């Protein structure tokens, strides 16, 4: 008799499938492979599949020396062949969930993955969605599609939601070391999903349902979005009050209770924080409720690139220069420091607005050799003293640790620092202007 799924999970004989091999899927696949499972990663990108099967990684947080041994041992492989899903016992779905142009949820990638999976669904299979989405997606969208097969969730197969909590570039909180939330369609689904993840992730927190687990992820990122929106507006306030917002935040952060420091910047980036709160807002609109905090924070954060450009324009004007025709050097286009991820990066919006105003912009980013967006292609320029000297303004949009900020300031005519990157490392600050 075939052993129960939970027993196969615990003795590592269960076969694991990961649909989507991006920033979430590949690290998860590697963790399960290193945990002793036979893992198959599914992706529509032949390039990604070829790289993984060649023992190479395209994710900053996963070096080649973690992928190659697992491929060589046979514990990890990648494929575009959906028919292999029929052999899987446990499947995690890690596909993108972007917004449409009208800021409505786009779950088309989830639906495509589920329809892909439905053809090969079999009894005693565990399916876990990790992609961020609105509360009710697993129960209202995924379950009915899968049950078209004639199999019933909680009886014939097991269905759960476990939100990804990936923080690119964070060496301390990784897929393995970040606690994992799990919520199943039924109590049995939750129990099996919990057993699945706890084999490779030490800390698992079970909630009552898939809806609860979906809401947990949205609360986490809405919390960040709203607080960043608040501190971005405080930065605008402090500018009008002729106060240094960084001084104010650092002083407030000395309070040991009741305050958590957030920091302003040129806007929000990444796949999660600029997007996820809108999933919750959209869902509430269907229930005739307007999520005011979410909408207001989104409005403030989305307009920060414009405010940064206004500051740049004013700064140039104060020194008798027009933005039109001005040479501007931008440092950093990744959405945050020390990674190559440019998804939703506010730096790209700043560059676009400056270009539309006639500025002659160049950028340097040690992590991003080239960018292609909005029918625009740019390559990272070499960062030399000559390039900085010939620019009227150097703008720090991403505070990469690779930069020697003292050298940057010494060789620049003026520096506009939107990240407070020069604080504590540059002595003569007469040429530095803060957000």
Annotated active-site positions, please? 272
Phi, then psi, of 189 in degrees rounded to 5: -60, -45
Give, rounded to a whole angstrom, the gap between the first and last alpha carbons of the chain: 67
Are 14 and 90 within 8 A, CB to CB? yes
The residues, any chain, with a CB within 8 Å of residue 69's CB and separated by 6 or more, are: none
In the three-class reduction of DSSP (H, G, I as helix; E, B as strand; rest coil), residue 82 is classed as: helix
Angstrom distance (rounded) from CA 112 to CA 96: 11
Residue 160 makes CB contacts below 8 A (sequence gap 6+) with: 126, 127, 128, 129, 138, 182, 183, 184, 185, 189, 190, 192, 193, 210, 213
Measured in whole angstroms, the distance separating CA 328 from the mean position of its chain's CA atoms is 28
- Tell me how crowded residue 100 is: count the other CB atoms within 10 A of its CB: 11
What sections of 148-275 are H helices per DSSP? Answer: 187-198, 210-240, 245-252
Sign (positive or negative) of CA dihedral 55, 59, 62, 65: positive
């Amino acid at each position: 008799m075939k052993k129960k799924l939970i027993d196969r999970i615990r003795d590592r004989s269960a076969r694991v499938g990961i649909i989507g091999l991006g920033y979430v899927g590949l690290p998860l696949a590697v963790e399960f492979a290193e945990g002793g499972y036979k893992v198959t990663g599914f992706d529509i990108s032949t390039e990604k599949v070829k790289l993984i099967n060649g023992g190479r990684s395209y994710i900053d947080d996963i070096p080649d020396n973690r992928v190659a041994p697992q491929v060589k041992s046979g514990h990890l492989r990648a494929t575009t062949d959906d028919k292999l899903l029929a052999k899987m016992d446990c499947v995690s779905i890690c596909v993108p969930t972007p917004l449409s142009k009208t800021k409505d949820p786009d779950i088309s990638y989830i639906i495509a993955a589920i329809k892909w999976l439905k053809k090969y669904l079999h009894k005693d299979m565990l399916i876990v969605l990790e992609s961020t989405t609105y509360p009710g997606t697993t129960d209202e969208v995924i379950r009915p599609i899968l049950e078209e097969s004639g199999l019933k969730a909680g009886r014939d197969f097991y269905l759960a939601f476990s939100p990804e909590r990936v923080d690119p570039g964070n060496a301390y909180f990784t897929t393995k070391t970040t606690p994992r939330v799990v919520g199943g369609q039924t109590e049995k689904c939750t129990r099996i999903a919990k057993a699945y993840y706890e084999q490779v992730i030490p800390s698992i927190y079970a909630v009552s349902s898939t809806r609860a687990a979906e809401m947990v992820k949205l609360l986490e990122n809405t919390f960040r979005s709203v607080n960043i929106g608040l501190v971005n507006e405080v930065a605008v306030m402090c500018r009008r009050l002729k106060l240094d917002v960084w001084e104010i935040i650092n002083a407030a952060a000395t309070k040991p209770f009741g305050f958590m420091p957030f920091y302003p910047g040129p806007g929000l980036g990444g796949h999660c924080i600029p997007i996820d709160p809108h999933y919750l807002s959209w869902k509430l609109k269907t229930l005739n409720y307007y999520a005011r905090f979410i909408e207001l924070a989104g409005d403030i954060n989305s307009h920060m690139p414009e405010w940064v450009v206004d500051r740049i324009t004013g700064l140039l004007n104060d020194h008798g220069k027009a933005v039109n025709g001005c040479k501007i050097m931008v440092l950093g286009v990744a959405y945050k420091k020390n990674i190559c991820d440019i998804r939703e990066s506010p730096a790209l919006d700043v560059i676009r607005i400056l270009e539309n105003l006639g500025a002659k912009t160049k950028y340097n980013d040690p992590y991003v050799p080239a960018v292609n967006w909005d029918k625009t292609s740019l390559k990272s320029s070499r960062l030399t003293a000559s390039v900085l000297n010939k620019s009227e303004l150097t703008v720090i949009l991403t505070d990469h640790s690779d930069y020697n900020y003292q050298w940057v300031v010494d060789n620049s005519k003026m520096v506009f620092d939107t990240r407070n990157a020069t604080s504590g490392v540059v002595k003569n600050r007469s040429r530095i202007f803060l957000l």
